[in-house]
Amino acid sequence: MVTINVWDKTNTPIVEKAIRESGLGINPQINGTIIMLPIPELNEERRRELSKVAGQYAESARVAVRNVRRDGMDQIKKLSWMVCLRTIKNFGRRLFRKLLIRLLKTLMQH
């Protein structure tokens, strides 16, 4: 049993709803500001389900990173209209790529 102690009573229903709609198949039980999550024993089928959910979250994160990359590169391209900023633009692209590659490697590990 996992317990979550919500500090603000007004957020308890929001947290409960988020857990219920997370797709994990966990039915939260509320006791005041404490939310109790009965975690079933993990069998082969449940492990596969959780693995699929984790994969979906990872794919969503990768898509979000790609969108940020595209938006960031578009912003850098907007700077190209000024000739004196070419060096800054190229530096920005390289730095941006390095950061995103590092983030994607971290996502791929988990």
pLDDT in tens, 80-92: 565 556 666 677 7
Q: How confident is the model at residue 109 (pLDDT cuts 50, 70, 90)?
A: confident
d(CA 51, CA 2): 19
Tell me the pLDDT tens digit for each residue of 61-106: 889 988 988 887 787 777 656 555 666 667 777 777 787 778 777 7
What's the pTM? 0.49
What does the radius of gyration of the chain's CA atoms come to, in whole angstroms?
A: 21
d(CA 79, CA 46): 50
The stretches of 1-85 forming alpha helices (DSSP H) are: 12-20, 44-78
